[in-house]
Amino acid sequence: MKHAYVFPGQGSQFPGMGKAHYDNSVFARKLFEQANEALGFRISDIMFHGTDEDLKQTKVTQPAVFLHSIIAYRSIEQARPEMVAGHSLGEFSALVANSVLSFEDALKLVSIRAQAMQKACEMQPSTMAAVLALDDAKVEEICAAVQAETGEVVVAANYNCPGQLVISGSVKGIEIACERMKAAGAKRALVLPVGGAFHSPLMAPARDELKAAIEQTKFQQPSCPVYQNVVAKAVLDREEIKQNLIDQLTGPVRWTQSVLAMIGDGASRFTEAGPGKVLQGLIGKIDKTVAAESVA
């Protein structure tokens, strides 16, 4: 049976994140200072001393979660992943873990991605909402109907676990969809405190910017398969990995499907490396028979 390593995305951040690593590890301090220099601002100061609001800025959140995840991963003695996956942003951490991207190149791409997404969010009012306890097919059906009837963008964005699907789109579209979700029997349809419609067509401008950066970046041959969000299956081809990474910005995060594919391919143990235990919890809801742990 195989050992999979998984990496969280935006939403896992918390004030003080990474400070224990910085205080207790020479290696961690080196990576923090390397990131401070590469990003052009002291992200370590924001991570250690910033407020929740400071950390919610996309241009801060994404490199912060990425940096913490890589430091947590590299603190694991003799980590030998046989498969990797990341939730949204976490896919960049996964590609460092399986040797496709260097830390430096991944950090640069994460920073470009974060700033491009921030700009896309500012171009049009948009948001996301969590829909609980409603069948995925019903959620998809309602999203499609709202789009067809109103012309507003509304799509299924994050398939987190059975009974938890996040939708993404324009503010008006999400408001209409949430009312219909509740009328259709959803336990909750809750608009999330996010600044934009991630993983929707509204991220197209950010996708174009990220695509240009990815095409200028060297991707190595992976040491093990990466299960990518948009296809939810094992990928080993470098060109396919690049394309899936680009498509992820406007495509859905198929996390439930990815975890099931990993289990189907032999994964029996999952280790989450990064801040928090979000993925550990989701994996437990997807399949209670597999072992899931977190290393923060």
Q: One of 12, 88, 170, 258 is an active-site residue; which one?
A: 88
Closest to 81 in 3D by CA, of 227, 249, 192: 227
Which amino acid belongs to residue 53? E
Residue that the structure tokens 């012309």 belong to = 151
| Residue 151, burial from CB neighbour count under 10 angstroms (0-12, 13-18, 19+) | exposed
- CA triple 194-217-100, angle to 5 deg: 85
Residue that the structure tokens 């990003």 belong to = 39
Q: Is 25 considered catalytic here?
A: no
40, HSE (Cβ side, Cα atoms, 13 Å): 4
Q: Is 99 considered catalytic here?
A: no
Pairing, β 234-235 against β 226-227? antiparallel
Q: One of 68, 87, 199, 294 is an active-site residue; which one?
A: 199
User: Residues with catalytic annotation?
Assistant: 88, 199
